[in-house]
Amino acid sequence: MADTLTITDNRTGKSYEVAVKEGTIRATDLRQIKANDDDFGLMTYDPAFMNTAACRSSITYIDGDKGILEYRGYPIDQLAEKSTYLETAWLLLHGELPTSSELEEWQHTITYHTFINENLKGVLDSFRYNAHPMGMLIAMISALGTFYPEAKNINDPAVRLKQIERLIAKMITIAAFSYRHMVGQFYAYPDNDLSYPGNFLNMMYRMTELKYQPNPTLERALDVLFILHADHEQNCSTNAMRAVGSSEVDPYSAVAAAAAALYGPLHGGANEQVIRMLTEIGSLSHIPEFIKKVKSGEGVRLMGFGHRVYKNYDPRAKIIKQVAYEVFDVTGKSPLLDIALELERIALEDEYFVKRKLYPNVDFYSGLIYQAMQFPMDMFPVLFAIPRVSGWLSQWQEMIEDPDQKIARPRQIYTGSARRDFVPMEKR
């Protein structure tokens, strides 16, 4: 049996044989298929990349039907249980788990790069008092790049690594400082004695205490959420990272672009929509009426349900649900939890949802945890962006080292006017 595909062009009667490798054909192999000599050659039309692999990647594996998510082959539930975010970030970047000395050095390096240049505070101060922290974060990432002109040297692995360390380290500082600016509080500096998530909580919430001590359950919960959000293969923001990075721009500019993609409500904003939905439902007695509205096709969706890739329980949602209970033991139960649980129970039994394979996704419970930890809703996409930086940078690095890759430049099907002569103003 040959690993090829035979295509017959019924316009010309000609047959072509193209290679099938790794379950794909090369789109450029179709270019030889021409209706006549002037023809550009056959293209594929695939808006939203529904069936186009834009890269080969060895970082993250998803099987949406089975509900499987793995980073570098390690199942997400094992990483969530046994790893830390920084160890997972190393794994994503380097392909293997670190040895204990590698991990120690990595943690030390990230910890000691958390401080930002004091001039960056001036950039933050120039934002309006109530500016959205995600807007500030995107701008600050871009501003950060202006302090490191050597970052343009993207083909030097040592220079690349230095920027990766800086970006991962400084994300928590920029994120927390953006929050402090929004709420009008002084900037709380990093504390090098604390873990990565602990340090973030310190910069978010420290007030008059000389030493901030994060609650260990909340610190661990945040670390687990960071692990779960670290990468998710070729999603919208990762695609932005790769596309922008393919122009060989510095990684700060590419990460700023990826963060902008994440800001959209269809990507990083769904957990906020879940909280809004649960608040609007308001009580258990209103659930049947709400479900009826969703099922009537009036355009109301059960937020936090359904996924483009997962047609099974999102494996991240399972872990997050467990974390939610641990967090609520410390913070007290969210009044919205009972509504969420009842909605989930009904949806998992209801034919409408079962038939469409709509299961809870990562966002169904994450917003409840963030809210219980006192994060305002505006911070939710920021909390997603912090760990996703390690995924974006892993994918960016893989792209730079991939000889198949070039500047990203899709084709189009031109649907405009045929050639015509310019019309003088008096004749229009």
Pick the stretch among 32-40, 61-69, 95-103, 356-364 that binds ligand CMC (CB under 6 A).
356-364
Q: Which residue in the set 134, 294, 336, 340 belongs to the binding site for ligand CMC (CB under 6 A)?
A: 294
Alpha carbon distance 131, 262 (integer Å): 17
Q: How far is CA 412 from the centre of its chain?
A: 27
Record the tokens describing residue 86, joined without a space: 């920084």
- Select the span of 56-64, 208-216, 303-311, 367-375 touching ligand CMC (CB under 6 A): 303-311
Catalytic, out of 94, 113, 132, 267: 267
Report the distance separating Cα 265 and Cα 295, nearest Å: 22
Is 267 among the residues known to form the active site? yes
Which of 223, 231, 314, 363 is an active site residue?
A: 363
Shortest Å, Cβ 381 to ligand CMC: 10
Residue at token pair 């994300």: 171
For residues 198 and 220, what is the distance between their CA atoms, to the nearest angstrom?
A: 8
CA-wise closest residue to 303 among 364, 382, 366 = 364
C-beta closer to ligand CMC: residue 235 or 394: 235
Our measurement of the distance from residue 13's CA atom to the centroid of its chain's CA atoms, rounded to an integer in Å, reads 46
Residue from 290, 305, 359, 392 that binds ligand CMC (CB under 6 A)? 305
Among 110, 358, 368, 385, which residue interacts with ligand CMC (rule: CB under 6 A)? 358
First to last CA, the chain: 63
Strands ordered across the beta sheet of 74-75: 60-63, 68-71, 74-75
Q: How far is CA 233 from CA 70, 84, 161, 405, in A?
A: 10, 20, 21, 17
293 binds ligand CMC (CB under 6 A): no
Q: Is 369 in the site for ligand CMC (CB under 6 A)?
A: no
Tell me which stretch binds ligand CMC (CB under 6 A): 134-142, 210-218, 298-306, 366-374: 298-306
Contact between 152 and ligand CMC per CB under 6 A? no
Binding mask 209-238 vs ligand CMC (x if CB under 6 A, - otherwise)?
Answer: -----------------------x--x---
Task: Please give the torsion angle defined by the CA atoms of residues 187, 254, 270 and 300, in that order, rounded to the nearest 10 degrees.
Answer: 140
Query: Could you say whether residue 134 binds ligand CMC (CB under 6 A)?
Result: no
If you search the block for the tokens 């409500």, which residue do you land on? 265
Out of 267, 293, 318, 333, the residue judged to bind ligand CMC by CB under 6 A: 267
- Residue in the block written with tokens 């529904």: 50
Interface residue with ligand CMC, options 178, 234, 361, 395 (CB under 6 A): 361
Beta strand segments in 179-314, E: none
Comparing CA positions, the residue from 189, 385, 417 lying closest to residue 268 is: 385
Q: Which amino acid is at 308?
A: R
In the complex, minimum distance from the CB of residue 355 to ligand CMC, in angstroms, rounded to a whole number: 9
Please tell me whether residue 251 binds ligand CMC under the rule CB under 6 A. Answer: no
What is the distance between the alpha carbons of residues 4 and 18, in angstroms, rounded to a whole number? Answer: 5
Radius of gyration over alpha carbons of the chain, in Å?
24
Find the catalytic residue in 181, 229, 307, 314. Answer: 307
Stretch that binds ligand CMC, among 209-217, 282-290, 329-337, 353-361 (CB under 6 A): 353-361
272 sits near ligand CMC (criterion: CB under 6 A): no
Q: Do residues 217 and 330 lie in contact, with contact meaning Cβ atoms separated by under 8 Å? A: yes
Note whether 292 binds ligand CMC by CB under 6 A: no
Among 362, 369, 372, 389, binds ligand CMC (CB under 6 A): 362
Measured CA to CA, the distance from residue 238 to residue 395 in angstroms comes to 7
Among 89, 123, 270, 291, binds ligand CMC (CB under 6 A): 270
Closest distance to ligand CMC from the beta carbon of 81 (Å) = 21
307 is catalytic: yes
Nearer to ligand CMC, 108 or 276 (CB): 276
List active site positions: 267, 307, 363
By CB under 6 A, name the binding residues for ligand CMC: 232, 235, 267, 270, 294, 301-308, 356, 358, 361-363
